Amino acid sequence: MIIYGVALLSVSLIFGMLIGEALGVMLGVDANVGGVGIAMLFLVFASNSASFKTLTEGAAGEGIKFWSAMYIPIVVAMAARQNVAAAADGGMLALVAGIAAVLVSFALVPVISRLGSNNGEAAPEKEVS
């Protein structure tokens, strides 16, 4: 049943969000701390575990794969509802601050990635960019 997979996905997100919200309250910040990330972990555990097979295999799995495939269209819609006009109106300060932050962060990606791969073995499996 397709709905089993969709339901598993929904339950993962709801629990993740609840925990993220609770973490935010505990830490005293007005934000959801990692709710989506925690939800993703739930789904990863479920799809790697044998006891959730009915919810992740066959038609049920298709229910999750459908939403995974809808991801790019949803991101396109998300791009179309960004407040681009305000970003463009923010003036030089906003522009310079945003650009500088991105450039420095980009430059740090290879540096910190190297920390992760034990003794510098990078895994350069070539992907199309």
Partner 1 sequence: MELIESVFIRNNLIVAFAVVGITIWVSYLAADKLTNGRIHGSAIAIALGLVAAYFGGVATGGTRGVADIALLGGVGLMGGGMMRDFAIVATAFGVQLGELKKAGLAGVISIFAGVVVSFVVGAAVAILFGYTDPAAITTIGAGAVTYIVGPVTGEAIGASDAVITLSVAAGLVKSILVMIGTPIMAGAIGLNNPQSAMVFGGLMGTTSGVAAGLAATDPKLVPYGAMTATFYTGVGCLLGPSVLYFLVSALV
Q: Which of residues 15-44 bind partner 1 (CB under 8 A)?
A: 16-17, 20, 23-24, 27, 29-37, 39-41, 43-44
From the number of C-beta atoms within 10 Å of its C-beta (0-12, 13-18, 19+), residue 63 rates as buried
Query: Which DSSP letter does residue 81 get?
Result: T
Residue 2, interface with partner 1 (CB under 8 A)?
no
Interface mask toward partner 1 for 44-83; x: CB under 8 A: xx-xx-------x----x--xxxxx-xxxxxxxxxxxxxx
The pair of three-digit structure tokens given for residue 94, joined into one six-digit string = 């906003």
Nearest approach, Cβ of residue 106 and partner 1 (Å): 5
* Residues binding partner 1: number (CB under 8 A): 87
Residue 121, interface with partner 1 (CB under 8 A)?
no
Nearest approach, Cβ of residue 1 and partner 1 (Å): 16
